[in-house]
Amino acid sequence: MGDYLTEQEAVQKLKEYASAYSNATEWKKRTKVIRENIIKGAELDQIPEEDWNYPINVVQGMQHSMDGYTVKNIALEVKPGHFITGNLYKPCTISGKIPAVL
The pLDDT tens digits of the residues spanning 56-65 come to 899 999 999 9
Dmax of the chain from CA atoms? 46
Would you call 88 helix, strand, or coil by DSSP?
Answer: strand
In tens, the pLDDT along 53-99 reads 888 899 999 999 999 999 999 999 988 888 999 999 888 888 888 87
Indicate the pTM of the whole model: 0.48
**Amino acid symbol at 67:** D
CA of residue 63 relative to chain centroid, distance = 20
Compute the Cα dihedral for 3, 83, 68, 98 and give only its sign: positive
Residue 33 is given by DSSP the state H
Residue 93 is given by DSSP the state S
- What pLDDT band is residue 102 in, cutting at 50, 70 and 90? low
Helices marked H in 1-102 — which ranges? 7-20, 24-41
In tens, the pLDDT along 1-54 reads 567 889 999 999 889 888 888 888 888 888 899 999 998 998 888 888 887 788
